Amino acid sequence: MTNWVTIYDCANIVKALGGSPVMAHAKEEVAEMAQIASSLVLNIGTLTPEFVEAMKIAAISANKKGIPVILDACGAGATKLRDKKSFELFDETKINVIKGNASEIARIAGESVKTKGVDAGHVSKNILKIAKNLAQRRKCTVVVTGKEDIVSNAKKTYQIKNGHPMMTHVVGTGCMVTSAIGAFCAVEPDLAYAAACGLCVFEIAAEEAAKVAQGPGTFKEKLYDFIFKLDQKTIDRMQKVEC
């Protein structure tokens, strides 16, 4: 249940990874759809109050089944509505993985920060400490994306240093990353490890795509190709993960 701006891209990334994306959003069917899913991804990028109510129904159904729920807090810290609905999702359902940039995660953690639309705002406090504390308090895995990514479940923390600046020139790479994380969480019960692997694989593919891209358009096209054909040998050679 994702951002309308990037729904097509998110579906294609999941498909390229070998998953089977279903982009259902009607409140009349989301509970039933969640029961046949292996993970549930929620993204508030183009939220409406009605859409968030459908997300709650889907998340509660997913919680009952025991499948992971991944929330992209897209734009949290930008408006009161986004903050309110993000906290409602956390308070009324079980979120297993929350992903956002530094200011989005800081806002969810209760810090007074401002997000620039969907771009990260300045966070003066230590974001690693914020992520760990949020993970411990909410009993979830926290993913912070940026120049270097952080994944923490409070007990174990990963830092991923893959990726390429070209990612910042394409709308939706953050949403695609969340969908990739959802695909990995569908098959790996250690959600912190799954999130770290999903980030690493996506960003290695981005590095490879950037080598042959002529700009944002061809980069996006090549990103799908490299996600699809990425192999273990390439991942082992290129991964930059610390834990």
Average pLDDT over residues 177-182: 97
User: Does the pLDDT at position 116 exceed 90?
Assistant: no
Q: What is the DSSP letter of 90?
A: H
Q: What is the pLDDT of residue 119?
A: 47
Token digits of residue 93? 């359902």
User: Does the pLDDT at position 207 exceed 50?
Assistant: yes
Q: Could you give all domains of the chain from N- to C-terminal order, each with its CATH number?
A: 7-242 (3.40.1190.20)
Return the residue matching tokens 């590095």. 207
Whole-angstrom Cα distance, residue 38 to residue 90?
Answer: 20
- 125 against 235, higher pLDDT: 235
Q: H helices of the chain, where? A: 7-16, 30-34, 49-65, 80-92, 102-108, 127-138, 173-185, 191-212, 216-229, 232-238
Whole-angstrom Cα distance, residue 133 to residue 234?
Answer: 34
User: Does the pLDDT at position 162 exceed 60?
Assistant: yes
pLDDT band at 125 (very low <50, low <70, confident <90, very high): confident
Token digits of residue 96? 């297993």
Q: What is the pLDDT of residue 229?
A: 95
Q: Which residues pair with 159 in a beta bridge?
A: 150, 242
pLDDT in tens, 65-115: 999 999 999 989 889 999 999 999 999 999 999 999 998 999 999 886 666
Given a contact cutoff of 8 angstroms between Cβ atoms, the answer to whether 24 and 33 are in contact is yes
Whole-angstrom Cα distance, residue 149 to residue 146?
Answer: 5
Q: What are phi and psi of 125, to 5 degrees?
A: -85, 165
The residue among 154, 146, 138, 141 whose CA lies nearest residue 101 is 146
CA distances from 30 to 47, 98, 99 (A): 16, 20, 22
Q: H helices of 109-164, where? A: 127-138
Q: What is the pLDDT of residue 58?
A: 98
Whole-angstrom Cα distance, residue 95 to residue 212?
Answer: 38
User: Does the pLDDT at position 223 exceed 50?
Assistant: yes
pLDDT band at 155 (very low <50, low <70, confident <90, very high): very high
Q: What is the mean pLDDT of the chain?
A: 93
Q: What is the pLDDT of residue 140?
A: 97
Average pLDDT over residues 196-201: 97
User: Does the pLDDT at position 123 exceed 80?
Assistant: no
HEC profile of 27-55? CCCHHHHHCCCCCEEEECCCCCHHHHHHH
Whole-angstrom Cα distance, residue 173 to residue 5?
Answer: 11
